Structure 1
């Protein structure tokens, strides 16, 4: 035991994170009669959605694929709910299932004690002991900043996409967006609509798909087709539909990979970009596609193709990384070394050894997180009933 800490033994699992994934698994546990405790470092739920997302953000997939278990979105919500609508939905979700996280509790460390057969989680001067630990901190805990020569000497405004809210403050400015995933594309479009002069860095080949095909979600169509046809045929259909609806993207400087979008997603985790109007802006010349950045200068950029250009501002839409390795001592997991990002690891497979689970960390989005939440809750509930319940505490319903 660590000295100076208050030791708290929990009846059920401890959940780290009160975002969509944490709320989803909490609701699934609640439905099965398993008590739980959620620790959340911020003072509210869905902190990443509130603090690190841009104002114009909408769900990339239709609401039926993004709803959490056991509670659909309100019928009056549009097919693609806004950021604020999603946050409101999460607030209603927590209230409906009586989910009350312990806010302001940042986990400093977690390790598995083989002698006790329990997880030890340290947060805010307390050590929580539990049989099950559920990691639900998401993929987007830490902004990823690339190592580019001269990054620190650029004299203009530079901000990571996690700090971008809207394009109003960039009106009339020359802005370079580094990163061409869904966030980079949507931020570029938002900047353009707010009167900025936008250049978008496209480093690699990528698939851009229409968000909708004949009024239906391309994702929904793909899910349906995969039940009937092999993946390669579904990929062929998506690429053909994209060419018919969007045209040849290579003509505007965005080449497609040889492998299909679903194949790439399954093998590399790289998500295809869903077009919500950006391509039309590129074709009209309102948004300029540029090559990879070689280095930054005090007032602009030198590109790999030798071109140089001045910019007032730079938006780094370069993604995020998980913070799990900073507090979870994964050496305690057999075969899992600290910092191991192997896709075959427990982080990608929902369940690990010694009663640890991960929800919403494998890059499968809300759709995958909800599925994993149900699986994890079912697995824990089986153990809970098979191994027997701990006696309830008169002081704290979470504590045995």
Structure 2
């Protein structure tokens, strides 16, 4: 049997949330290790579609301690303020790779954490595909990318065309001349539908409720400022203003009357979706931009009480049923804007402060 490795704090996941945790753990002087299931650095950003651009300029897309550098050859998209720059996903992945090297974070990869259980000495034992780790506290920063969600729609198994999820989409050129249904009223659905209008023969974008675009002047910087005001209990919820950031490609498709939302269909038939009026829209493919669920199966043996959509109940980032466990970067339920590059730093700092206080 291999020897159990020991550390004070174990971080599961080396995407943006795990790296932010590592930055503050190092500053706190704690002994820690980061386990990452991916073969290469960059988190989920290395898997996004080609045309994706950030909602925010680089100055509002940085992790703590290291500003994101400008991406060569990119300027501010039309309609945005001068001096802005909205980099693509590949640039973000490169930035994350450089970040972990800069701070010499102790990342072990590829290592997949299978389960976490209690030990008789009050610690935690993480079983991985590369041996076991003992820790006194654990930060789960696995994100949602590996748990795509597709709703149970009648007839889904009957559709003869291609079906894929947001995480499988790469480029509009793969659907050149095809008729494509895009399902989902969030940012991914709007961006992918807009991208497809450049190549597909026809695009039908379907949503459960009418699409709600945020005002054109709002970008990720404004969203972060609104999230900050929410932390201070002073300001509207972002969801009160809208769901979709009008990034330049989305705005361009909308303004050219190429981006229309239709209400959700009742069922899929072998040839395409059937709508409430009984009509069937012939389609070659359906892209489900229907979100993700948190990747938390590794924590199941701890018996933590889960809330809505598989979430674990927390106070801030700390699991209410187990103060040794912190959840970082999963969305607003683990801190306002905590699933964003700039927002995760704030919640990582607080999580590490709480861990340090408890261990000391």
1:350 maps to which residue?
A: 317
Shift of 1:288: 3.8
Partner in structure 2 of residue 93 of structure 1: 99
**Displacement, 1:153?**
1.5
| Structural mapping, 1:1-400, within 5 Å | 5-51=1-47, 53-75=48-70, 79-113=85-119, 115-212=120-217, 217-219=221-223, 222=226, 230-231=234-235, 235=236, 262=238, 264=240, 272-276=243-247, 277-282=249-254, 284-324=256-296, 326-329=297-300, 331-333=302-304, 336-337=305-306, 341=309, 345-346=313-314, 349-352=316-319, 353-363=322-332, 364=337, 365-366=339-340, 367-384=342-359, 386=360
Greater Rg by CA? 1
CA–CA separation in structure 2 for the residues paired with 1:35 and 1:57: 37
**Structure 1, residues 34-82: CA drift from partner, whole Å, max 9, x if none?**
221111112112342213x111112223333331111111156753221
> Please, what TM-score do these two structures have when normalized by structure 2?
0.85
DSSP-derived class of the 1:6 partner: coil
Determine helix, strand or coil for the equivalent of 2:350: helix
- Residue of structure 1 equivalent to 2:77: none
Task: Note closer, same or farther for the CA distance 1:362–1:218 as it changes in structure 2 (3 Å cut).
Answer: closer
Distance 1:229 1:44, change over 3 A: closer
For residue 157 of structure 2, give the secondary structure of its aligned residue in structure 1. helix
Structure 1 contact 13–130 (Cα < 8 Å) conserved: yes
User: How many residues in Structure 1 have an aligned counterpart in Structure 2?
Assistant: 340
Unaligned runs of 5+ in 2: 73-83
CA separation of 1:202 and 1:305: change in aligned 2, threshold 3 A: farther
Post-superposition shift, 1:341?
A: 4.7
Whole-Å Cα distance in 1 between the matches of residues 85 and 246 of structure 2? 16
CA distance in 1, matches of 2:145, 2:156: 22
Between the aligned partners of 1:208 and 1:286, the Cα distance in structure 2 is: 15
Select the structure with the greater relative contact order (CA < 8 A; seq sep ≥ 6). 1
CA shift, 1:9, in A, is: 4.2
Contact 1:179 1:317 in 2 (8 A): yes
The answer to which structure has the higher helix fraction is: 1
Distance 1:342 1:166, change over 3 A: closer
Do the aligned partners of residues 162 and 28 (structure 1) sit closer, same or farther apart at CA in structure 2, a change above 3 Å counting? same
Distance 1:177 1:118, change over 3 A: same
Give secondary structure in 2 for the equivalent of 1:309.
coil
Q: Return the alpha-carbon distance in structure 2 between the equivalents of residues 340 and 109 of structure 1.
A: 22
Aligned partner of residue 329 in structure 1, secondary structure: helix
Q: CA deviation at 1:380?
A: 2.6
